Each structure stands twice: as C-alpha cells, then as structure tokens.
C-alpha cells in the first residue's frame, strides 16, 4: 500500500496538483465564501419578493464586488455605484440622439469603448473609467431589442436598481461580518501614484490596447447583429472582460472564462433537469443558490490564477437558474451564451495575435542562495 503511493503520485497529472494547491483552504477564504453565500441568498429573496428585474445581474454583483476585506469591498462598491450611475445617466442622454439612428449609435459605442479602455490604462482610477465606458457601450448595444423608447427608459432605470442595491447590501454585510484588516507591522507606506500616467500620451501601447479591445468588441457586435442572433451578445462582453495587455494573459483569462462558464452551465443544466421541477418555495431555491454560490465563492477567493473562474461559475449558473421569477427550462439561452463566449475568445485572440502583438517579457533568472525558499 505504501509502495503504491509514490507511484500513484507520480502518475497523477501536473494540473491536478496545481488545482489542489489553488483550492486549498486559507484563513480568509472561508469568511469570504460565507459573505458571498449569505448576501447572494438575501439578494435572491429580496428580488423575488419585490419583483426586481434582472435578478441574475443582481446576484452576480455580489460575488463581483466582494473582496478580501471590508475596506477594499467598500471602496470598490462605492466606485461601482458612482460609475454605474454616471454611465446610465450618460446612456439615457445619448439615446436622445441615437435611438432611431444606428448610423450614429454604432460609432458612439466604439468611441466610448475606446475612451473607457484608454482611461483604464492611463488613470489612477482606471477601473472607474473602464466601468463607465463599458456600461454606456453595453446599454447602447441593446437598442434593437427594445420595442419602444419608453420601454428602454424603464429598463435602464430598473437596471440601475438591479445593479446598485446588491452592491450596497454587499458592503453592509461585509462591514457586519468581515474581520477588520490590520496593516502589517512595520509596513512601509506605499508611494503616491500619479493620477495620470507619465507616459499617457507618449506611449503608443495605451492607444494600441484600447484600439484592439474596441475592434474585437465591435466586430462581435456587428457579427451577431448582422446575422440577427442577439442571444450570443456575450461575445461583446467577453471581448471587454478578458482583454489584457499580452496575448498569453488574455488567453489565460479566456480559458478561465470558458471553463468557469462550462462548469456553471453544467451545474445549472443538471439543476433544471433534476432539482428545479421539484422546488415548491423560495426556500428550496435559496438552498440551491447558496450551495453553488459557496462553490463559486471558494474559487473566487483564490489567487489571481483561478479567481476569475469562480466569477464565471456564478454567472453561468445564475443565467440558467435566475432567468425569471418562475422556473424556466429554456436551454437555448444557455447554448447561445456559451456560443457567444467562444466567439468572443476567438475574435479577441485573433486581434491580439495579429494586431500590435505584445508578448510577456520572461523574468530574469535569479541564482538561488538557499535550497529553502
């Protein structure tokens, strides 16, 4: 038995040991998972009781905003609420001029996307610039699906509610149950960061990056609009969220998105077949959502090498289970969203591979001074 153990270990694939290390318990991991699980269940109950639309977006905002401690969570939550409020207000204003004129709306989407990603590279509050640009472009991309301008206004206002109230609730729950983050003793203060990068207008890499993301996202938008397949709109979102500076990093994030969505979609598919038909109350739904949110939260609380996969597990599962206020067994939406993700990864890969490709610089080799790290 003991002799067989080294043989079994040697035959085990390398990725298995890597995954086991990435999913290993840490002191902060359990607490973050608990906060995600509790807040998501509260959001589902509140949205179901008050009939707040876009419940899947509300549930996803919880895991998106929850961070390792209360200070970071509060900061991220505040910036997101400000960014979403500004973006939806600007989108409503832009729609006054573009709702019936796609020849103006499509260029406006491209300009806003470019500005958002350029700001994300040169500003100290880059994520806020990215968030504003993305929300404006994403809300402008749904005009063809809206039956009237009045319906569009109502949808945008409800979208603001569906996004902001879960963020506020997440911040409150985190402040109540998250431990206080203490700065390490003797830690040196971080140097102040310039509000605008010193090379903002001299380094062409910033413009190249913004142009590549804009080209990939707008290509996907034009493709699924031309073939009248709005269900694969996740291609547009995928291009925006997996794009990183180098091709290798972008592919890694794309792989995490695809693997996470496949895992979450499978869990949602099995739940719709075997569990949802037997559910009779909000209690059953809450237990199911809590279970998968705990799994997704555990992954999301890991290192940067795997955390993004946890967000995608949650998003895909919520898309399956929280499509409406009543049980829904429409598997077409699941298929379309996965197709959109694959399309977005392919288009982004091609753009980043052939247009101003950036390859990561290999780290300098350092001669070890000791056998014990």
Tokens of 237: 């979102």
Residue identified by tokens 């993305």 is 134
pLDDT of amino acid 182: 60
Tokens of 138: 């994403």
CA distance 122 to 201: 9
Residue identified by tokens 């982004």 is 348
pLDDT of amino acid 345: 86
pLDDT of amino acid 258: 85
Task: Flag residues of the chain having pLDDT under 50.
Answer: 1, 7, 362-373
Which residues on adjacent β-strands are paired with residue 314?
none
312 and 257 Cβ atoms separated by less than 8 Å: yes
pLDDT of amino acid 347: 92
Coil vs helix vs strand at 220: helix
pLDDT of amino acid 12: 63
132 and 86 Cβ atoms separated by less than 8 Å: yes
Q: Sign of torsion, CA 139 141 145 151?
A: positive
27, 153, 304 from 301: Cα distances, Å:
11, 36, 9
Domain ranges of the chain: 27-179+204-354
Taking Cα atoms as reference points, which of 60, 81, 77, 80 lies closest to residue 69?
77
pLDDT of amino acid 129: 86
**Which helix (H) or strand (E) element contains residue 268?**
helix 247-274
- Model pLDDT for residues 128-178, shown as the tens digit of each residue: 888 898 899 989 888 888 888 899 999 999 999 999 999 999 999 999 987
5 phi-psi bin (left φ>0, alpha ψ -120 to 50, beta other)? alpha
Give this prediction's pTM: 0.84
Q: How far apart are the first and last CA of the chain?
A: 32
Taking Cα atoms as reference points, which of 213, 216, 199, 313 lies closest to residue 259?
313
- Model pLDDT for residues 183-210, shown as the tens digit of each residue: 555 555 666 667 888 888 888 999 999 9
Tokens of 70: 């209360």
């Amino acid at each position: 038995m003991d002799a067989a153990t080294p043989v079994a270990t040697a035959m085990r694939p390398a990725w298995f040991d890597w995954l086991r290390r990435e999913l290993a318990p840490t002191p902060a991991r359990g607490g973050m998972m608990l906060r995600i699980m509790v807040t998501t269940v509260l959001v589902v109950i509140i949205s179901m009781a008050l009939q707040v639309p876009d419940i899947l977006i509300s549930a996803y905002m919880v895991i998106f905003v929850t961070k390792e401690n209360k200070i970071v969570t509060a900061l991220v939550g505040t910036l997101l609420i400000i960014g979403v409020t500004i973006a939806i207000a600007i989108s409503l204003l832009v729609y006054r001029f573009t709702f019936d004129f796609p020849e103006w709306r499509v260029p406006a989407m491209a300009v806003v996307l470019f500005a958002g990603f350029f700001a994300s590279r040169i500003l100290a509050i880059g994520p806020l610039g990215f968030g504003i640009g993305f929300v404006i472009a994403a809300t402008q991309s749904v005009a063809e699906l809206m039956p009237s301008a009045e319906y569009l206004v109502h949808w945008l206002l409800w979208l603001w509610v569906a996004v902001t109230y879960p963020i506020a609730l997440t911040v409150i729950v985190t402040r109540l149950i998250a431990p206080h983050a203490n700065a390490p003793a003797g830690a040196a203060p971080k140097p102040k960061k310039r509000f605008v990068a010193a090379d903002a207008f001299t380094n062409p890499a910033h413009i190249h990056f913004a142009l590549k993301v804009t080209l990939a996202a707008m290509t996907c938008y034009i493709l699924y609009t031309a073939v009248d397949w709005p269900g694969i709109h996740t291609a547009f979102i995928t291009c925006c969220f997996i794009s990183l500076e180098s091709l290798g990093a972008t592919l890694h994030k794309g792989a995490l998105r695809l693997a996470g969505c496949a895992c979450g979609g499978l869990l949602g598919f099995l739940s719709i077949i075997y569990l949802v038909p037997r559910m009779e109350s909000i209690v059953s739904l809450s237990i199911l959502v809590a279970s998968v949110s705990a799994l997704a939260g555990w992954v999301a609380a890991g290192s940067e090498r795997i955390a993004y996969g946890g967000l995608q597990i949650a998003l895909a599962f919520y898309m399956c289970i929280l499509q409406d206020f009543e049980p829904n067994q429409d598997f077409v939406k699941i298929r379309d969203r996965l197709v959109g993700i694959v399309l977005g990864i392919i288009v982004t890969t091609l753009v980043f591979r052939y247009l101003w490709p950036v390859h990561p610089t290999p780290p300098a080799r350092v001669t070890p001074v000791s056998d014990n790290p």
